Structure 1
Amino acid sequence: MATLLHIDSSVFTGESSASRSVAGVFRQTWQEQHPDGNVIYRDLAATPVPHITADAHTAGFVAPAARTPEQAVAFSHRVRLIEELEQADAVLIGAPMYNYTISSTLKAWLDNVILFGRTAGDASSVKGTPVTVIASRGGSYAPGTPREGSEYVQNYLEAVFDEMLGMELDFIVPELTMAPHNPAMTELVPLYEASRDRSIERAEARAKEIALRASA
């Protein structure tokens, strides 16, 4: 049975969230291809995971028998999140840009699942797993735009998922999402709509691509 791990981190709900909307298209398409598949879902805005603590961090470098009771409890929470990631045949993450980077809730999840000697490093337990990130943003930070140098979502997540975890990373980027709501961006609405439509099409295609690969 194929398993999809779906993580949302937008503070907005439903159609008011671009990342949730596009991720929903991906998930629906993936489930159509895997009618008997399993979806593990975490809404980090509704139910945040604990931020990593000293006990949770240091426990990862201590043999289980040598851990303090506090370390053991803290590490057990990390293990549950790590196992969800390891069980996934595909990972879907909604990662809207807030103040140039990812949400604190998504960063907390990453801090928990990144564990050198297990998920991170040369022998990563999640190496090669496809991860699709819906990196929505209110403006545009694409190459050649005035704010290109302030793009810290894709740069950061590429370092994490590609370099540290060895996963197969793909970005879908719905941009200019503030255009319909900001009068100063009215002339950019057609570009926003085109970006939205491309993102939806790409989400459908990516979900099908991953499903076909899994069944090959």
Structure 2
Amino acid sequence: MDFSDQRLSYEKGELDQQLVPRSPFELFKSWMSEALEQQVQEPYAMSLATCGADKKPSVRIVLMREITDSGIIFYTNYESAKGQDIAENPNAEVLFFWHELERQVRISGHIAKINSDKSDTYFQKRPHDSQVGAWVSQPQSGQIANREIMEQTFEQLKTDYPEDKKVPTPDFWGGYEVTIEEIEFWQGRANRMHDRIVYSLDKSYKNEDGASWVTKRLLP
């Protein structure tokens, strides 16, 4: 299959370095709010790239569940392939792509577990069957002979934990926070003249608002 003749002209917006806020979190939240208003499907879905001790990169889609004052939070199985990568190399990159808005946001930073109380609070907010499913997926990415085994385990757990019974939070499951060290905002433009504005964290620098973010424009 040849896609070399397939292309679009991006003409829905622009990004002026002189007008962007001093904090990337303000811009990120604004873009996320706009994506929600425009009914972009799951705009909080993000590609998470990790690399463990084997130096082989891995990427998968996960769901961001919170924007904090310093980064973003997602939840997963700590014993998953991504969890193993993070334990070996606590650096990660994240990518959001919103085709409808012709925008993408790329985040680089340090990743670490959040406290267990916060993870438990979130787990107990999840739908009952999703809670049960977390227990089925152990070890996550582990090999299984067939789907029937997985479904039987799920039904047995639903019997053990009916709707009126609390499903305990697994000790192998919880949240991670990606503390943002660099974040790039990309706005598609016509003729491949895209806008790319990068915020980099520099703790030795303070802008007029007392924040340590330096901005720069990159060539597309």
The interval holding the TM-score normalised by the smaller chain is under 0.3
Scaled by the length of structure 2, the TM-score of the pair is 0.24
Greater fraction of residues in helix: 1
Scaled by the length of structure 1, the TM-score of the pair is 0.25
